[in-house]
Each structure stands twice: as structure tokens, then as C-alpha cells.
Amino acid sequence: MDKRLCRELLRSLEKPQASKRAFIGLDGFVDSVIHVVEKRFDANNYQRFETIQAYAQHLLEGAGLSMNIEMLPLENKIGGNGTFFASGLEKYGVPLTYIGAIGKEQVHPQFANFACKPGCRRVGVADPAQTDALEFRDGKIISSKLRPLNELRWEDLLYALPMEAFVREMEQADLFSFNNWTMIPAMSEIWRHILEDVLPRLRTGARGKWAFFDLADPTKRSKEDVLEAMELIRRFHGAGFTTALGLNLREARLIGAILEGGKAVSTEESLEATVRRVSDFLKIDCVVVHPVDRAACVRDGVYFETEGPYCASPKISTGAGDIFNSGFVYGLLRQWDSELCLLTGVLSSGFYVRNGFSPDLEELRAFCEEFAR
């Protein structure tokens, strides 16, 4: 990693930060983090499937036969793109309002300590979805039960947060980010209502506000749906928001293939070419892509890339991309240059995968010091 850049980040972290507020949504999950048991030795000792490939081969060998698989829950915790993203920003001291599937009649117990710091507020619009996150050393398989998100509508948001209050939240926010488009079928409709019904009511307009989008893995959505989402993101840019889209490498290649008319993007393609393809199509302020060992963005037409603190044996990987996004966007809110934003993102996720929780500013500073020497 770049020692000079790490030292520059340490100096920037010492400077006072102006108060910035975020308005974030929209999902909410109770996640069960799970190991898939390959061999059971006794009640307390087991060997898990280390890789997705090994697990897939085991499943393939059972085709046409019966098979029993032991799923070992390690912990239950909050999950979701929006909730992880908000948690990361909350740890960095950003006051925020979170609206989403964290409990309809009352906040779900799993979210008792979520968005509860001074200056934070939470608004429940639906019960949480449920997810089993099967963790492997080379990735994860996420199995979700999504009925609360499938049924979520714009009217549910207005029931929980009437238009006047919704407008007030948008006016007070320096960052707007309603994430997990893939798993919320009505998200495009919700974005459209914000553009057409909420923005005209803002006395302050959208100037000076960031809009950050994370689609989540769009594999199961149609090409037409993805292109519609891209067009709506462009409309946020056209409405005056400073607009950014965050993707992991697989998502960037998938969207790149859609933009190429369905032609698969080569895995040998350079990271810069992958990021630029999406950026050139969208023509928004920033597109950021985060592979596991680095991150890159095109911001105002200029390409930047930063090496990350790669971890070969992560303690946890579910949510790492969202924690990267929280670090990157924290840098945007502090008006840092692109390299510092990328570095903050990769350090945030690097700390997370090693420790199983996102860092606060002191922990980020200490982690950065390890690479500044």
C-alpha cells in the first residue's frame, strides 16, 4: 500500500470535520452467518467446506440422490446493504436517519443498537427480511427470504414518514442513499417518486447534496430493469445531485455486459476499462468499483486506483462491500480527494474483514498507521 497516501490520510483525519447528515434506506435483514459442515468429529469439533468450489462439487455428487447438509449458525446480526452502509457511517460519527425494513410495528430486537447514537433516527416501514449467509474463504452464498422487501411500496414509506416529514429529511440531508435496488422490486418506482414528488418540494433543491447508489447483485433482474435503473440514476444527476454509483467487480462486469448488448466482458479486461465503460455510459459524477484487493473510481472523468490491505483469510466477508462504501462516502462528505476516499474505503473494509465489525475513527486511524510506517 502507498505509505505516502496513508500518511496523508492520517493528517486529514486530524482535521475537524464539518457536520454532515445522511438520509439512508431502504432494506433490513436479520442475517445468520453460517459455516457448511464437511466433516463432524464430535459435538464441538468440525471441518467446514473451505471453498464454494468444494461445496458445489459435493452438491453435484449428490445429484439424483438424497443428501443431508449441516448448516452451523455462527451468529445472528443485522444485515442489508443499506443497514451495513449506515452502520459504517454511524461509527464514523455521521448523524443520519435510516428508513427501512427494520420492523413495522416496532423496531426488531436485532436492530436495538442500530442508528441510535445522538443525532440518529430510525423509521421502520416493514419487518426485516431473513438471510442465510454461507461463508467460505473464497466468497459467500447468500440465501434470502424476501417477502417484506417484495411487498414494500412507496405508500409504505409515506405511511411511516408523511410527505412533509420526508421532504424535511431530504432538505436536511447532505447525502441521500436508498440502496439494494435488486432485492426491492419497487425501488425504481420509489426513486421516481422522489424525483417527481419530493424534489419539487425542496426549498433548497438538490445542489450540494450527494446521491449514492448501490444496486446490489443485479443478476436476477432483467436487462430492461437494469437499464431503467441506470436511467433513473442519471436523472438524479440531472436534477442537481452530485451522483455516485458503487459496484463490486462482478457487478461492474455484469452491467458492462448489458451495456455491450449482452456480450460477456473478459475477466482479463483491465480494471480501468471496466470502470470507464460504466462511467462513460452513465455520465454521472463518480463510479467506484471495489475488487477484493483494491478499489478504483472514475470521478469527473479522471481515473484513480488504490491498492487495499488484502486479507487472504477473512474473519467475515458478508457486508465488506457496504463497509467499503461507507468509508468511501465518508471521504466524499469530508470533501477529500479521490485517492483518499478510495483509501478510506479499502481500509474500512480491510479492518472489517479482519475483525468482524466496522471501525470507528480511532480504530481506522490505528489501522492506517500500520501501513504508513
Confidence check: pLDDT of 67 > 90: yes
User: Pick from 196, 159, 204: which is nearest to 21 by CA?
Assistant: 204
Q: Taking the CB of residue 233, how many other CB atoms lie within 10 A of it?
A: 22
Kindly list the structural domains of the chain, giving each domain's residue range(s) and its CATH number in brackets, ordered by start: 3-34+80-372 (3.40.1190.20)
Round to whole Å and give the CA distance between 163 and 171: 12
Side-chain half-sphere CA neighbours of 140 within 13 A: 24
Q: 336 φ, ψ to 5°? A: -80, 160
Round to whole Å and give the CA distance between 187 and 179: 8
Pairing outcome for strands 129-136 and 29-40: parallel
% of the chain residues with pLDDT over 90: 88
At residue 264, the pLDDT reads 77
Q: What is the pLDDT of residues 207-248, one digit of tens each?
A: 999 999 999 989 999 999 999 999 999 999 999 999 999 999
pTM exceeds 0.85, yes or no: yes
Cell of 166: 420526508
Contact 246, 214 (CB under 8 A): yes
Contact 371, 344 (CB under 8 A): no
Q: What is the pLDDT of residues 134-145, one digit of tens each?
A: 999 888 898 989
